[in-house]
Amino acid sequence: MKALVPVKRVVDYNVKVRVKSDGTGMDIANVKMSMNPFDEIAVEEAVRLKEKGVVTEIIAVSCGVAQCQETLRTALALGADRAILVETSEELQPLAVAKLLKALVDKEQPGLVMLGKQAIDDDCNQTGQMLAALTDWPQATFASKVEVAEGQVKVTREVDGGLETVSINLPAVITADLRLNEPRYVTLPNIMKAKKKPLENIKPADLGVDVTSRLKTLKVSEPPKRGAGIKVADVAMLVEKLKNEAKVI
Ligand code: AMP
């Protein structure tokens, strides 16, 4: 069974992003970019399934600018077998990515698509769900445990009240949550090996997909600055201020 693993190039989680002075978006020029952390977990899970003999080939996919190749090379160094870059300079929204992935699913016929639960730049948490709708495949989101057996996958999901275990038929869409696994470190020999693995470069038009944005960002602004706090003399004054100034009790 082939596994398709979409990996997004995002601003590194350690970077403190700033809003552009004209309010049109975030200033991401010259900041460190990395693989979306949940996608690293998804790649790791696919690699573990390959090590168990469940998956035979892992195909990493990234949609975006030419530099997404670096993200794909990281996926290859983590253990993916080959990579596909769907190159475009358009800003991609989840529906466009889901349509590109659907076209690749039709072409590659994987048994499993393993995404991250959410991209840490747009926080959309939509692509996996939209892909499941477009493919009409079962989906298990927020996975913290994945067990594949005889054409089915048992997925433990992190839900508000605790853990939910669902069983779905393959082919399926799964999205990875934080506690699914701890991704391995990329080693130098594997980085070298990854350079020789195949990386195909295609365009959205090759897949017959129109990626034009459907949403327009009107304005991006910084959250309001927090004012300085004050010291209160005693509990009675604290309660008085919470009641009459902050009006929260
Ligand atoms: P989102 O719906 O934007 O929060 O993204 C959820 C997941 O979809 C990510 O963790 C990735 O696995 C996948 N994804 C989103 N955008 C892209 C992209 N441009 N290229 C590859 N995968 C993506």
Residue with the bigger pLDDT between 23 and 195: it is 195
CB 119 near ligand 1, within 6 Å: yes
Q: Rg (Cα) of the chain, in Å, rounded? A: 21
241: in domain: no
Q: Tens digit of pLDDT for each residue in 152-181?
A: 999 999 898 899 999 999 999 999 999 999
238: in domain: no
Ligand 1: nearest atom to the Cα of 129? 2
| Global pTM value | 0.91
Q: Does 51 have pLDDT greater than 90? A: yes
Ligand 1: nearest atom to the Cα of 130? 2
**How high is the pLDDT of residue 145?**
98
**How high is the pLDDT of residue 149?**
87
**How high is the pLDDT of residue 92?**
96
> Beta strand 112-116 with 139-149: parallel, antiparallel or unpaired?
unpaired
CA nearest neighbour of 70 among 2, 16, 4, 8: 8
Q: Tens digit of pLDDT for each residue in 90-115?
A: 999 999 999 999 999 999 999 999 99
Question: What mean pLDDT do residues 77-85 have?
Answer: 98
Question: What mean pLDDT do residues 199-205 have?
Answer: 98
99: in domain: yes
119: in domain: yes
8: in domain: yes
Q: Does 150 have pLDDT greater than 90? A: no
229: in domain: no
**Residue range of the domain that includes 171:** 2-224
CA nearest neighbour of 38 among 97, 118, 102: 118
234: in domain: no
CATH classification of the domain holding 131: 3.40.50.620
CB 65 near ligand 1, within 6 Å: no
CA nearest neighbour of 61 among 124, 108, 28: 108
Domain count, the chain: 1
